[in-house]
Structure 1
Amino acid sequence: MKLRSHGKSVVVWILLAMLILGLGGFGLQSFSGSIKSVGSVGETQISVNDYARALRQEMQSRSQQTGQPVTMAQMRASGLDQQVLGTLIGQAALGEAARRLGISVGDAELQKQIFDIQAFHNASGKFDRETYKFALRQQGYTENEFEAQLRDDLSRSIVQGAVAGGVEAPQAVTDAYTKFVSEKRGFTWAEITEGDLTTPVAQPTDDELQTYYNDHIAQFTAPETREITYAWLTPEMLQSKVAIDDATLKAEYERRIDEFKQPEKRLVERLVYPNMEEAQAAKAKYDAGTSFADLAKERGLTLEDADLGDVTKAELGKAGDAVFALSEPGVVGPVETDLGPALYKMNAVIAAQETSFEDAREELAGEAEADKARREIGKMSEDLQDRLAGGATLEEMGKETDMELGTIAYTAGDTDGIAGYEEFRKAADAATTEDYPDLETLSDGGVFALRLDKIVPPTPKPFDSVKDEVAKAWHADQLVTAEEARAKEIVAEVEGGKSLGATGLLTTTIASIGRGGFSNALPPAVISKVFETDPGKPAQVTANGKVYVIVTDKVIPADMTDADTTLISGQIGSQLSRSLANDLLNFYATAVEAEAGLSLDSQAVTAVQSQMQ
């Protein structure tokens, strides 16, 4: 998809990406030289900086999702680089449409948008130019660049709203999806157990077990084992040697007093209006019964957008007195603020909290001692590394330093002891028997060094040592096969006119369950089979090593007047509407591209990507 429509403008998507990444200390160099753009739609350019910034943001986002750094090579392999470029092309198409239509945004609206961004506010909740400049520098923008881009984004959002705003899915389609999703079924089920077999599973012969062992040798093979000797030192090992006196802890308590003595707060949502008349009209609607969520929706916002979180009286500024005058949830305002007249909804009172030094002492001591131990280890690290570089063995390190010696028979994925550290696992997986021990750092500030003594390759366990294990596995396989054969007989009996209960099985009837519903007694595959089976028809299911026979008793149509069904219908309608709006936007962008002309510079694209390896 070229554009991602979530009911908000392209502006919001870009601002969110910037605020998430830019304020996290994540910088981006500017690209310079003769190459200025990676492509264009008509006269609207896609700059190399915009492409680089979008790529970096996507890489950072994927890294946060997976917990692992994402490389440019991985981006290309998964096609994410093309998705990023496609999104920018779509935005450029909308920008070109806005240019051709003469759509632009004035300085007053631009300033309002900038002032509304909370990441540009100081501690008192007001727009702060130094904070603004810092945030832009972190993301590689100058003020002029950012404001020009924001102006373009706002113009594009106007085009986007005109093309895709107000699109609603046909009610018939929404109803059809809702009826399918909300349909329920009643059914009867029985599990085929070993006791239900007409002929018990025979005892295996030694030859059968040997054959099973040979045919399933991977199941009885020990994984590769790395026999490793290591020496390590963690802050926890040193904590008993770095005790902190009470005077130091009390000083730290006073320094962090805001953590331990928290003022009364309120959970607050805020809606800002262009003028007092609109704010007063909104308050009148609320007083007449309109919900705050609906007021937010009228502003093109969600309650998430309006949420200020838990705030103190001081943080609310001019609205502090009015909001804190409420002793129970309610709405106050309009209150004149720096952003404009606003309504404030107070959702909960958070009482003041105070933690005494005595109650906080253990926490303070633990943190301070761990911090001091980390610093001590940092001071020791150079000496420890010098010793290893000078030829000291790990055994000598264990005797002559604070490091502790240990051994481990490590297999990939182990998490016991030192293998609980990702840094150790990574080093253990990469080590060779020719490597010399080298000092490496652990995530908690500790250090370690390891030596790979021996690699034991994957080795089949001797048949005699696992004969009982083989017998259990053989029996389990034979039992499932026999139970499936018995289930087939039961299905035939039910198809011949018997009820499931009349076959002699222990049955359970579930009066009603929804599509995708959950049952403590049954795996999801059984529930899915119920919705694939016509009423009155039996079916067998094998799942998680167990065999079941089910009979669908009845289909319960969706109750379209039910509150839950109405909620589901609304969600489906919204999702379908967003999908249709997104399709319209993509069709429009494609049409603009076709009319204005799309140009891409593959060399420029490659040049940008090459700087992100």
Structure 2
Amino acid sequence: MMKQLRKSASGLGVKLLLGFVVVAFVVTGFSSFFTGTTSGTVLSAGDTEISQSDYRLAFRLSENALIQRLQRRPTQEDMQRADLDAQVLLKLTSDAVLDEQGRKLGLGLSEERLARLIADDPSFQDAGGGFSRAAFANIMRDIGMREAEFIRNREKAAVRSQITEAITDGVTSPAVVKTAFGLYNGERRTVEYLTFAPALVEPIADPAADVLAKYFEEHTSRYRAPEYRSVAYAVLTPESISDPAAVTEEQIAADYEKSGARYVTPEKRRVQQIVYADSAAADAAKTALDGGELFEQAVVKSGRSVEDTQLGLLAKSEIPDPAIADAAFALAPNTVSAVVEGAFGPAILRVTEVQPESRRPLEDVRDEIRTALALETAAGATRQVYDAFEDARAGGQTFEEAAKAAGLEVKTIPAISLSGLDASDKPVADLPASQEFLRSVFTTEAETENLPLNLPAGGSLFYEVAKIDQARERTLDEARERVLADWKADETERLLSERIAPLQKRLEGGETIDQIAASEKLEKSTAASISRQTAPGEIGREGAIAAFGGKSGHIAVAPAADGRSKLLLKVTEVATAADPLANVAKEQSDQLDALLRNDFFETYISELEATYPVRRNPQALEQVRTQIR
């Protein structure tokens, strides 16, 4: 069966694809979708149908992967940017044809293997990495899928993995491809260069009024004022409405007594352990120790170093073996234990340091408790504050009046662009949920009541646009400071280019960098044995591109790393990598292998789609997407 799978992915299409990889390192994409199927089914291929529950599950799993990548709940904008809907549909399309192929081939999976695959899925694991029944039940409830249906879904996924592994297992990028990458990565060059700093042509005098006016007219679009909006907003979170001053001393004292364990640092001990192969060896060592032998001598006789015996400074709960933990915490300091039957064999222990249990005094944690109690009270009041604001708005109060009635602080931004800049083109600081907030602010109308936004970390954001200033052309007087700075920057670049041009001709005519440096009273610099990876750190990104833009003897002018200076450079030496493959990092080699495996997989999927045409149901798709939103 494996041979049959490989055969179907090893035809002319794959050979042509491999040719593209060798010549140009091209990666191809998936095939497009076909349309049409029955109601209630999102898509189908042959006798295989993908249900709306399958779509919801795939979407939820993709969303969980995005959450792990972002380390927070994604906003609608995050999901649109990740193109989650398209990714899910693409995945389900390949799933459908693979399921149909698996059905035709009669592939299956044992119950034990299936149970392990489900338990190992990160989506169903708790913080410790173990299977969480609660997480599993929550996802089943969210997607509206029965457990039996989910298990069937995962069984199909496992079968798909069998097929995919059969197609891609052992596929590696050809040596010729990796050699080409190695030659590219490993090429070394030595570059001599002169740096022409702005100071060589500065100071730049202010231009005449008509010159500046003409420059402004030629670059008017550069100074165009974008649309600005004035917006008021109020943040509702436990932090924004908490009132630490309202917490009494009695409440603080009561919480300290109630939650005292939170402020206790448990006793810790520095423990040493010698583990023996059997009880006889351990008993003999204990007898020797009781007879006056030093612990260090026993360590040496056991074939270990003192460092090998160190368990560290640990609390009792941090020692995983209960027998060892009990014995260690029963020992007096600098005494040796009896033989302890530990999990890894009989052991002898010694405790060399004891840090007693300690409790932080109330005075040290008073502010911490005050803040925590205030937040706890505020968390219980957020719904009440939310309703108070909404009720006030429904009663006809203005945004500011409603916020005041609900006890919320109103902040006002006089002018902000869609890019988050103020009227002076400086970023507006501390924007809440910045991207979604800006998008919402610029898709509403002035003085319109808007639905509050959900903040990524929890809470609500109320907002109202007070005024809209349409985009317009700025006058020269408004933009004069920026126009003058831009003109001087352009003039500096022009004068530097004028100075370098004849020097470049002299260099191309046969003079050396040293001769030009001497005549111009400049210091020659050398970037020795640089590669494409190291060159930007020495001569900047543009300088690196120029340095590798020709063969030995190549001469070029490029911007320096500071963005203002210019470089006149000459390549004096080119060295080819002696061992190209040694210049391909493991990560890059793995990426090349993964790209080729992906190409094999995509080619195979394309062939399956031709064998089992995929039919999509637009109505069912739109319905399930609406439910998810």
By the TM > 0.5 criterion, same fold?
A: yes
- Find the counterpart in structure 1 of residue 616 from structure 2: 601
- CA apart distance, 1:434: 4.1
Return the match for 2:219 from 211, 216, 220.
216
- Equivalent of residue 252 in structure 2, options 246, 252, 272: 246
Please give the per-residue CA displacement for 1:405-460, whole angstroms capped at 9, x wherever unaligned: 66542222156577556487566545644447998887788888766554444566
Asked whether the equivalents of residues 59 and 70 of structure 1 are also in contact (C-alpha less than 8 Å), the reply is no
Which position in structure 2 is the counterpart of 1:105?
A: 109
Corresponding residue of 2:23: none
Mapping for residues 347-362 of structure 1, pairs under 5 Å: 356=360, 358=362, 360-362=365-367
Q: SS of 1:97's equivalent?
A: helix
> Do residues 533 (structure 1) and 533 (structure 2) align?
no
1:580 aligns with 2:596: yes
CA distance in structure 2 between the partners assigned to 1:128 and 1:60 by the alignment: 15
Q: Counterparts of 2:512 and 2:166 in 1: how far apart (Å)?
A: 61
Q: Is the 8 A contact 2:185 2:583 kept in 1?
A: no
Deviates further, 166-175 or 110-119: 110-119
Judged with a 3 Å threshold, the aligned counterparts in structure 2 of structure 1 residues 392 and 483 are, in CA distance, closer, same or farther, namely: same
What is aligned with 1:507?
524
User: Cα offset for 1:215?
Assistant: 2.5
Is 1:385–1:439's contact at 8 Å kept on the other side of the alignment?
A: no
Identity %: 25
Deviation, structure 1 residue 555: 2.2
Distance across 2 between alignment mates of 1:71 and 1:421: 12
Q: 1:160 aligns with which of 149, 153, 164?
A: 164
Aligned partners of 2:458, 2:625: CA distance in 1, in Å? 34
Q: Judge which range, 442-451 or 585-594, deviates more.
A: 442-451
Instruction: Identify if the C-alpha distance between structure 1 residues 419 and 514 changes in structure 2 by more than 3 Å, giving closer, same or farther.
Output: same
1:484 offset after TM fit, Å?
2.2
Matched, 1:372 2:377: yes
Q: 1:449 to 1:184 in 2, by over 3 A?
A: same
User: What SS does the corresponding residue of 1:558 show, helix, strand or coil?
Assistant: coil
- In the superposition, the TM-score normalised over structure 1's length comes to 0.66
Aligned match of 1:495: 508
Equivalent-residue separation in structure 2 for 1:449 and 1:41 (angstroms): 47
Give distance in 2, aligned partners of 1:552 and 1:83: 46
With over 3 angstroms needed to count, the CA separation of the structure-2 counterparts of 1:49 and 1:261, relative to structure 1, is farther
* Alignment check: 8 A CA contact 1:163 1:585 kept: yes
When residues 63 and 460 of structure 1 are mapped into structure 2, their CA distance, relative to the original with a 3 A threshold, is farther
- AA of the residue aligned to 2:112: A
Matched, 1:178 2:197: no
Residues 410-449 of structure 1: pairs in structure 2 closer than 5 A: 410-412=415-417, 413-414=420-421, 416=428, 419=431, 422=434, 429=442, 432-435=445-448
**2:577 matched residue in structure 1:** 558
TM-score (norm 2): 0.64
SS at match of 2:525: strand
Structure 2 letter corresponding to 1:496: G
Kept in 2, the 8 Å contact 1:231–1:398? The answer is yes
Identify the residue that residue 192 of structure 1 maps to in structure 2.
Answer: 196
- Structure 2 gap ranges (5+): 1-36, 271-313, 328-342, 345-354, 422-426
- The verdict on how the C-alpha distance between 1:170 and 1:456 changes in structure 2, with shifts beyond 3 A counting, is closer
Q: CA deviation at 1:497?
A: 1.0
Question: 2:601 is aligned with what amino acid?
Answer: L
Change (3 A) 1:403 1:160: closer
Distance 1:532 1:444 in 2: 49
Verify: 1:69 aligned to 2:76, yes or no: yes
- Larger deviation, residues 84-93 vs 129-138: 129-138
CA contact (8 A) 2:41 2:617 kept: no
Q: Shift of the alpha carbon at 1:468?
A: 5.0
- Give 2:256's aligned amino acid: K
Q: Distance in 1 between matches of 2:137 and 2:403?
A: 52
Letter aligned with residue 253 of structure 2: A
Alpha-carbon distance change, 115 to 439 in structure 1, aligned in 2, over 3 angstroms: closer
- Return the letter of the residue paired with 1:582: N
Q: Secondary structure at the match of 1:523?
A: helix
1:384·1:439 contact (CA, 8 Å) conserved in 2?
Answer: no
Distance across 1 between alignment mates of 2:457 and 2:471: 33
> Per-residue displacement from partner, 1:274-317 (whole Å, max 9, x unpaired)?
xxxxxxxxxxxxxxxxxxxxxxxxxxxxxxxxxxxxx9998998
1:477 offset after TM fit, Å? 1.0
In 2 relative to 1, CA 92–196 (structure 1 residues): closer, same or farther, beyond 3 Å?
same
Change (3 A) 1:248 1:493: farther
- SS of 2:566's partner is strand
1:85–1:426 distance in 2 versus 1, CA, 3 Å: closer
Give the RMSD, CA atoms, in angstroms. 4.9
- Between 143-152 and 237-246, the greater mean CA deviation after superposition: 237-246
For the 8 Å contact 1:226–1:411, the answer to whether it is kept is: yes
CA distance in 2: counterparts of 1:387 and 1:215, whole angstroms: 52
Name the counterpart of 1:282.
none
Quick one: structure 1 residues 137 and 236, their matched pair in 2 at CA, closer, same or farther if it must change by over 3 Å?
A: closer
Partner of 1:6: none
User: By how many angstroms is 1:554 displaced?
Assistant: 1.9
Query: How much does 1:510 deviate?
Result: 1.3
Task: Rate the CA distance shift 1:118–1:39 in 2: closer, same or farther, 3 A.
Answer: closer
User: CA offset at residue 598 of structure 1?
Assistant: 2.0
CA positional deviation for 1:473: 2.1
Contact 2:252 2:369 in 1 (8 A): no
Measured after TM superposition, the shift of residue 250 of structure 1 is 1.3
Does the CA-based 8 Å contact 2:389-2:403 persist in structure 1? no
Query: Which residue number corresponds to residue 541 of structure 2?
Result: 524
Conserved 8 A contact 2:43-2:614: yes
Query: What's the counterpart of residue 287 of structure 1?
Result: none
**Equivalent runs, 1:221-240 vs 2, <5 Å:** 221-227=224-230, 235=239, 239-240=243-244
Matched AA of 2:613: L
Distance of aligned partners of 1:172 and 1:214 in 2 relative to their CA distance in 1, 3 Å threshold: closer
Within 2, Cα distance between the matches of 1:323 and 1:559?
Answer: 57
| 489, 506, 526: which one aligns with 1:476 | 489
Equivalent position amino acid for 1:479 in 2: T
Structure 1, 41-50 or 58-67: larger mean CA deviation: 58-67
Larger radius of gyration: 2
Distance across 1 between alignment mates of 2:467 and 2:609? 62
Structure 1 position 69, deviation (Å): 0.9
Q: 2:160 aligned with 1:145, yes or no?
A: no
1:460–1:135 Cα change, 3 Å: closer
Q: Residue 575 of structure 1: CA displacement?
A: 2.2
Which residue of structure 2 lines up, in the alignment, with residue 296 of structure 1? Answer: none
Instruction: From the superposition, tell whether residues 520 and 91 of structure 1 become closer, same or farther in structure 2 (CA, over 3 Å).
Output: same
* 3-state secondary structure, aligned to 1:155: helix
State whether residues 447 and 464 of structure 2, in contact with CA within 8 Å, keep that contact through their aligned partners in structure 1: no
Change (3 A) 1:111 1:262: farther
CA contact (8 A) 1:177 1:572 kept: no
Q: Which residue of 1 aligns with 2:332?
A: none
- Tell me if the contact between 1:536 and 1:551 (Cα under 8 Å) persists in the aligned partners: yes
- For residues 391-402 of structure 1, what are the structure 2 equivalents within 5 Å? 391-392=396-397
Task: Point out the more displaced range, 427-436 or 36-45.
Answer: 427-436
**1:541 deviation in Å?**
1.6
Distance in 2 of aligned mates of 1:440 and 1:109 = 44
Paired with 2:83 and 2:231, the residues of 1 have a C-alpha distance of 40
Aligned to 1:10: none
Shift in Å at residue 264 of structure 1? 9.9
In structure 1, the gaps of 5 or more residues are 1-32, 266-310, 326-334, 337-350
CA shift for structure 1 position 483: 1.7
Distance 2:41 2:450 in 1: 49
Distance verdict in 2 for CA 1:571–1:128, change over 3 Å: closer
SS at match of 2:550: coil
CA drift of 1:404 comes to 5.3
